[in-house]
Structure 1
Amino acid sequence: MLIGEEEHAPYERPNLSKGFLCGEEAEPVWLTSKERWKALEIVFQTANPAVAIDRAKGEVQLSDGSVAPFDALILATGGRVRPLPLPHHPAVHYLRTTDDARAIAAKAKTGARALVVGGGVIGLEAASTLKGMGLSAVVIETNDRLLGRNIPAEAAQWLADAHARIGVEVRLGRALVGLSDANDGAVTASFDDGITQEFDLVIAGIGIIPNTGLAEGAGLSVDGGIVVSDDYRSPDDARIFAIGDVAARLTEGSARRMETWAHAQSSARKAALAILEQPAEVEPTPWFWTDQCGHSLQILGDPASADSVIARGDGVRLYVREGALVGAVCLDMPRDFAAARRLVGKVLNPELAADPAIDLRKSA
């Protein structure tokens, strides 16, 4: 049984800030077909979220008052959008669901003025898409650079330059401090430098808050997410697992979450194998991607742990520690990225790896 808050069947979220938002795709990217769900004998409880877990009875209580018994329970509750630290204003939109994307698209008229609060992946993808739809776009970010949480500074600058080329205005070190009604349905935004400006649409992308309420209510350990062991099992109840964005996996004594599509997939697979008492597989090196301004940036591994960087042409950076590859960033270089995924952990020859004319696979 699959229990969900939304009324839709499961769909891919990355497309919401790109093709679905701009109308290139009329439907979300469905996870699989209705026929496939039926063949797998999966029962849906959509628009009927879980509200409590009774571990003693082995039951989940749903919002309509019914209960669902379980032998194994997977919490894939993800996160909810982090709201702006301001009074609610109807001009502000968030982008997490298909309904959110449709609401933004309805206001995204050619010539409209969009303010994007937050220079992370979601905010920048939304700004890129809106600019392509004929809107003007201003991005404000409180930090001194874009994408500060998860992308190396040089790669973040590549994307900052790409936004500048298409006319997206980026303001760093700035914060939104107020919103008030203006004429013709517009809103006046006030910034911390004293500047005010009118916009027709405001999109906030300042992160998510993990949905840990069910776990906390059931007495499960929570530390910035639902605490799980290596196989994504709760240390408090061997029947319960947490996967995806909400899972805080214990690694070297600390709990760490990962908000990527690839981790949602790999964590689900590892939990499923554990439930089926099948041998564990070697997990792939973490990676993610973002498509903006006609470019695709792919990020692999843990660049922050490197002690040196190999520059491979204009669009590839290889991050090594004690000579071995620990991470990579590639701009519009999918072949090099595919090679880097196979080379993680291997010692590279710096001269060969730095030469774009040489197949990267030959550098190890």
Structure 2
Amino acid sequence: MTVSDASTFPRHQSLPSREHYPLVIIGSGAGGVSAARSYLDAAGPGPVLMVTEDIDPPYERPPLSKEVLSGEKEPTGDPVNGEGLPDGVELLLASSISAVDIEKQTVAAKSWSVEFDRLIVATGARSKSLHAAQEGAEIHLLRSLDDARTLVASARTAYTALVIGSGFIGCEAAASLAQRGLNVALVTPENGPQEQRLGAAASSRIKDWLEAVGVEVRTGRSVKSVAAPRVVQLDDGTSLNPDLILAAVGVTPGGTLLDNSPAEVRGGRIMTGQHLKAHATVWVAGDSALAQHGVAGRPIMVEHWGDALAMGEIAGHNAAVEQNAQKSWDSIPGFWSIIGDHTLKYSAWGDGFSTAEFRERPDGFVVWYGDERGELVGVLTYNSDDDYERGQHLLEQRAPLSHALK
């Protein structure tokens, strides 16, 4: 089969149709889909093989903790950016990669092996399991569309719910379950929701929003154990027995696929330069990357849908073109989070801050974040789009925090 008739490939397969591919993409999330589109748009030779452990064709993940969980949308999965995969992409669902040899340029699963000219790793991250859970405990995670289907099915018959963790997914999910009509409690070891990431003032506002939709927020509390089926013991001696438990306690990046390879892997993330290249024939995008940023001037990691889309676009383009036409990763990282009826917009380098300056705005607020050198390293806004756009511009300039406070 030649490249010219690649559009006739079946979309969802159980085995590869050939032994060699110009491009193999591991992962079907935002990074992988964006990479496939960009690669083919840049006239990269096909066909492209996309391999994923997911059981569903590529879908938008952000609605899962919001509209899907609140009941506004059914858990059917919207295509990424409203579009299916382009012609020329073979998709292998429910396929777990067992080995990658980037020197021999091979990728293998249990029942097949293929050769590649180029490889893009966009494996994303996995939800962390709750270490305190005992055998048989019924605990939901929320990372995939299948997770969402199972969680929604449980929510339809539940009266009470416990969300463990106060990151963005935990806060979004707690608000969504409350909007669905459940009595929801959120437990976090932090002094306030997302206080470590966003600071005390923003955390206080988020707590108010959660409580306004009926979420009981229990701060400074850890889960000691969860016994079957759903008996939860907190470190203050409290015992809870909710109908539904959702653990949102962070993620584990998927870059370990290249452990013991010539590529450098740190903490499950694959090191790349600003062109997102990790090896002579390997590029990386999304959560599995620890990539040099063209503006920040240092390796940074991101765990956001929009950033994975942007990185995938660059990785796919660069895999298709010559060295003199390479693109650099230099867009400012960030994302939006919807907690109940409140939309937060956040842009930051993501490696911490030492100063958080909170400013009220009419019907909203802005928080400016600075590091120990006095440089602006992030901005968080609610109902203040002018500040958000200004903050991104100042981040691009590596401006001092003092410039943001003028």
**Which of 305, 311, 329 lines up with 2:380 in the alignment?**
329
For 1:308 and 1:103, the matched residues in 2 are separated by 39
1:165 to partner: Cα distance = 1.4
Structure 2 residue 13 is matched with structure 1 residue 13? no
The aligned counterpart of 1:175 is 222
Structure 2 residue 244 is matched with structure 1 residue 197? no
For 1:77 and 1:240, the matched residues in 2 are separated by 13
The aligned counterpart of 1:68 is 114
Provide TM-score, normalisation by structure 1: 0.84
Structure 2 residue 70 is matched with structure 1 residue 22? yes
Residues 174 and 273 of structure 1: is their aligned pair in 2 closer, same or farther, counting only changes over 3 Å? same
Q: After TM superposition, where is structure 1 displaced by more than 6 Å over at least 4 residues in a row? A: 251-254, 346-351
Structure 2 residue 162 is matched with structure 1 residue 134? no
Letter in 1 for 2:275: D
1:58-86 deviations in Å (ceiling 9; x for gaps): 111123x2222211111111111111112
For 2:141 and 2:326, the matched residues in 1 are separated by 40
What secondary structure is seen at the aligned counterpart in 2 of 1:337? helix
Residues 203 and 89 of structure 1: is their aligned pair in 2 closer, same or farther, counting only changes over 3 Å? farther
After TM superposition, the structure 1 = structure 2 runs for residues 37-56 of structure 1, keeping only pairs within 5 Å, are 37-39=85-87, 41-56=88-103
1:217 to partner: Cα distance = 4.5
For 1:318 and 1:128, the matched residues in 2 are separated by 22
Question: How many residues were matched structurally?
Answer: 345
For 2:213 and 2:271, the matched residues in 1 are separated by 42
Larger RCO (alpha carbons 8 Å, 6+ apart) = 2
For 2:210 and 2:400, the matched residues in 1 are separated by 33
Structure 2 residue 302 is matched with structure 1 residue 258? yes
Letter in 1 for 2:149: R
1:343 to partner: Cα distance = 4.4
For 1:326 and 1:190, the matched residues in 2 are separated by 38
For 1:326 and 1:148, the matched residues in 2 are separated by 17
The aligned counterpart of 1:78 is 124
Letter in 1 for 2:238: I
Query: Any gaps of 5 or more consecutive residues in structure 2?
Result: 1-48
Residues 341 and 47 of structure 1: is their aligned pair in 2 closer, same or farther, counting only changes over 3 Å? same
**Which of 197, 209, 212 lines up with 1:150 in the alignment?**
197
For 2:109 and 2:195, the matched residues in 1 are separated by 39
What secondary structure is seen at the aligned counterpart in 1 of 2:271? strand
Q: Determine if contact 2:366/2:387 at 8 Å carries over to the other structure.
A: no
The aligned counterpart of 1:105 is 152
Tell me whether 18-27 or 164-173 shows the greater mean CA deviation.
18-27
Q: Determine if contact 2:69/2:152 at 8 Å carries over to the other structure.
A: yes
Q: Determine if contact 2:357/2:367 at 8 Å carries over to the other structure.
A: yes
For 1:318 and 1:258, the matched residues in 2 are separated by 20
1:229 to partner: Cα distance = 1.9
The aligned counterpart of 1:272 is 316
For 2:274 and 2:280, the matched residues in 1 are separated by 12
Structure 2 residue 294 is matched with structure 1 residue 248? no
For 1:242 and 1:146, the matched residues in 2 are separated by 31
Q: Determine if contact 1:245/1:257 at 8 Å carries over to the other structure.
A: yes
For 2:77 and 2:51, the matched residues in 1 are separated by 19
Letter in 2 for 1:15: P
1:23 to partner: Cα distance = 3.3
For 1:254 and 1:325, the matched residues in 2 are separated by 15
Structure 2 residue 156 is matched with structure 1 residue 114? no
Letter in 1 for 2:231: T
Tell me whether 85-94 or 337-346 shows the greater mean CA deviation.
337-346
The aligned counterpart of 1:207 is 250
Query: Any gaps of 5 or more consecutive residues in structure 1?
Result: 355-362
After TM superposition, the structure 1 = structure 2 runs for residues 231-246 of structure 1, keeping only pairs within 5 Å, are 231-234=275-278, 237-246=279-288
Identity %: 27
The aligned counterpart of 1:4 is 52
Letter in 1 for 2:65: S
Q: Determine if contact 2:70/2:176 at 8 Å carries over to the other structure.
A: yes
Letter in 1 for 2:220: G
Letter in 1 for 2:270: I
For 1:245 and 1:343, the matched residues in 2 are separated by 25
Structure 2 residue 265 is matched with structure 1 residue 222? yes
Provide TM-score, normalisation by structure 2: 0.76
For 2:128 and 2:401, the matched residues in 1 are separated by 44
1:16 to partner: Cα distance = 0.8
**Which of 340, 346, 349 lines up with 1:299 in the alignment?**
346
